[in-house]
Amino acid sequence: MASTFHLEIVTPDRKFFSSEVEMAILKTTDGEMGILKGHTPMVVAVGIGPIRILENGQWIEAVLSEGFMEVLPDKTVILTDTAEWPEEIDVNRAMAAKTRAEERLQRQLAQVEFYRSRAALARAMARLKVAKEIK
Ligand code: ATP
């Protein structure tokens, strides 16, 4: 059996995931990162996008928004603003959020509004991707 580490994903609302896993792959601000047992300890910023988790030989997928991750050799903890499984994603809501963000980004925006709208668009696109609504 492959060696495992403990993965915990926590949002302000709930403990989203807590289990022994073989591997996790997710987006960080430095690019895609894969975590296995025994990883060098570090703290990294998590980016908006999918997380793929290998648990008991099966890949499962979810979508995260921004947050932080602490990696230790035997345990990884991700604190993120939001996390959803594909079946939890309300596709119509994500489509509407995508349209709103795209419309806002057409306008002249103050810098803070520009960054907010860009992040909202990234969240909507990531949700639609994980819900398999867009390729
Ligand atoms: P919206 O404008 O639709 O609220 P948002 O990207 O601003 O989208 P967030 O602030 O990222 O929403 O999330 C707020 C809460 O709503 C979180 O608990 C998140 O998991 C949930 N959520 C957001 N969008 C969806 C969606 N399309 N389907 C299911 N849950 C969602």
pLDDT digits (tens, 9 = 90+) for 77-134: 999 999 999 999 999 999 999 999 999 999 988 999 999 999 999 999 999 999 987 6
Per-residue burial over 39-50, b if 16 or more Cβ lie within 10 Å, else e, is: beeeebebbbbb
Taking CA atoms only, the protein residue closest to ligand 1 atom 11 is 82
Residues 94 and 116 in one domain: yes
Pick the atom of ligand 1 nearest to 13's CA. Answer: 18
Residues 60 and 99 in one domain: no
Question: For position 31, which CATH number holds?
Answer: 2.60.15.10
Residues 127 and 104 in one domain: yes
Q: Report CA(40)–ligand 1 centroid distance (Å).
A: 33
Residues 47 and 67 in one domain: yes
CA gap 5, 20 in Å, rounded: 5
Q: Report CA(89)–ligand 1 centroid distance (Å).
A: 9
Taking CA atoms only, the protein residue closest to ligand 1 atom 17 is 82
Nearest Cα neighbor of 121 from 84, 94, 81 is: 94
Give the torsion sign (CA, 117, 119, 122, 127). Answer: negative
Residues 80 and 125 in one domain: no
Residues 50 and 77 in one domain: yes
Residues 109 and 129 in one domain: yes
Number of domains in the chain: 2
Q: Report CA(120)–ligand 1 centroid distance (Å).
A: 9
Q: What is the reported pLDDT for 2?
A: 74
Taking CA atoms only, the protein residue closest to ligand 1 atom 10 is 82
Encoded tokens for 106? 């057409």
Ligand 1 proximity of 90 Cβ (cutoff 6 Å): yes
Q: Report CA(14)–ligand 1 centroid distance (Å).
A: 14
Residue-number span of the structural domain to which 27 is assigned: 5-84
Taking CA atoms only, the protein residue closest to ligand 1 atom 7 is 120
Residues 97 and 75 in one domain: no
The rounded mean pLDDT for the chain is: 95
Residues 70 and 113 in one domain: no
Residues 61 and 97 in one domain: no
Residues 97 and 55 in one domain: no
Q: What is the reported pLDDT for 1?
A: 59
Residues 79 and 35 in one domain: yes
Which residue's entry shows tokens 């895609």?
Answer: 32
Which of 84, 100, 123 is the last residue before a domain boundary?
84
pLDDT for 135 beyond 60: no
Question: For position 117, which CATH number holds?
Answer: 1.20.5.440
Q: What percentage of the chain exceeds 90 in pLDDT?
A: 93
